[in-house]
Amino acid sequence: MSQATKAADSLLPVDLLQRFDVPGPRYTSYPTADRFVEAFTGEDYRRALQQRADGAQVGGKKPLSVYVHIPFCESVCYYCACNKIITKHHERGAEYLEVLEAEIALHQQVLGESVNVSQMHFGGGSPTFLSDAELARLMAALQRTFKLAPDAEVSIEVDPRTADRSRLAHLRAIGFNRISFGVQDFDPDVQKAVHRVQSLEMVTELMRAARELGFESINADLIYGLPKQTPESFTRTIRQMSELRPDRIALYSYAHLPARFKPQRRIDASQLPPPQHRIDMLSSAIAGFMGHGYSYIGMDHFALHDDALAQAKRQGRLHRNFQGYSTQPDCDLVALGVSSIGRMGATYSQNAKTIPEYYDAIRQGQFAIVRGLALTRDDLLRRAVIMALMCQGRLEFESVELAHLVKVPEYFRQELEALRPYEEMGLVTMEPGAIQVTARGWFFVRAIAMSFDKYLQADRTRERFSRII
């Protein structure tokens, strides 16, 4: 057993893993998206965009990121909780592309042309549902409004079943420099149980091609807690993934919520691993990846030691956005496409979740926003606290006090008291003017951050969230 594996095992006592096997937010934003309200409209979003264009944002103009949601998939993965449309009719992509171009034009009317962008991401669904020509057309439309910085991160999620080497070469040629493969598990029985069959050989060949084509970063997603998974089978998947050496690995906990997500009703609940097996899988994954030279970034992210994300973690430069941990500084986010969630200044917003509603709004020349949130002073303060803990693992009282004109010990008296048990468990260190998350506490940082979530304090119904462990 390597020193990294031993270290991971010692940091994750079974009793703590069992204690924190509870639902909780992932904090890709605060407040979380379930707190958005329908009173926030497209006009509110337009005003937030205009404030950015006019340079009237509080705290100055932030860097800009762009997210594009492509909802279509050819077949359904039973575990999926994403907003998607299952269809083999690829002609639907052409109509969707036309509406996306109209939505981009709406943003151009307010923001102007050649708006500098430091990050662009295509997600889904399966973005590679679109043809090569359609993806090229979409990139051209985006670049008429948004000017990519020379060092911009331009990434796309790829379903390995929809790609080959020539397809990856096309993605690289039209400007993508980062790629993410949805893998979930390499075990054939698990793949059949979730209706997503793709061989290890297929993924191996695609990763090899991506490296040869010059993609700057390769990411792979895994999920633990799926039907028919066992600690032994998942340990094998961890080893196989580690040997493929993607730059980054995202490891997610499966949340079985069939009442909310219809595809999950096709999963036989009796085949789901019991809680103790889930805990064993998480523990072995952390130990396995660290033992193979990956750094544990936090929550669900691992990265090779020399990757930019691992460097940012070591240097205290981590940030967090709707895509998870990032090296990008705190930024505004233009979100395009059905159901997309964006951030502009001190607001969050979400597009219509259905295609007819989304199409109707855009074709009428209106933003398709159906809900959102204008953050209050308390929201902004708590967001700063939660993101400091989630990203830097340390909260300096003075920096928060200067920015928000409060006294942390007074404003957060109850929250600080609620952290005392975590201090006794060795998860945090309470200093006179700071909170420090310990090495062990970093594995449970979601639970620590939850102590400062005002909405959770008022509403203890958490089953809508994935489990912390």
Report the distance separating Cα 20 and Cα 8, nearest Å.
17
3-state secondary structure of 342: strand
Any known ligand binding at 82? no
DSSP characters for 288-343? Answer: HHHHTTEEEEETTEEEETTSHHHHHHHHT--EEETTEEESSPS-EEEEESTT-EEE
Any known ligand binding at 331? no
Q: Enumerate the β-bridge partners of residue 123.
A: 69
Any known ligand binding at 81? yes
The tokens for 433 are: 């003017």
Any known ligand binding at 393? no
Any known ligand binding at 433? no
Any known ligand binding at 73? yes
Q: Which of the 8 DSSP states describes residue 28?
A: S
Identify the CA nearest to 48 among candidates 455, 342, 259: 342
Any known ligand binding at 391? no
Residues 6+ apart with CB under 8 A from 262: none
Q: Find the helix or strand (DSSP H, E) in which 438 lies.
A: none
Any known ligand binding at 369? no
DSSP characters for 232-294? Answer: HHHHHHHHHHHHH--SEEEEEE----TTT-GGGGGS-GGGSPPHHHHHHHHHHHHHHHHHTTE
Any known ligand binding at 468? no
Tell me the residue ranges of DSSP E strands in 98-215: 115-124, 146-158, 178-184
Residue type at 320?
Answer: R
Any known ligand binding at 79? yes
Q: Enumerate the known binding-site residues.
A: 67, 73, 77, 79-81, 124, 157, 184, 196, 221, 255, 341
Sequence ranges of the binding site for S-adenosyl-L-methionine: 67, 79-81, 124, 157, 184, 196, 221, 255, 341
Known binding-site residue numbers for [4Fe-4S] cluster: 73, 77, 80
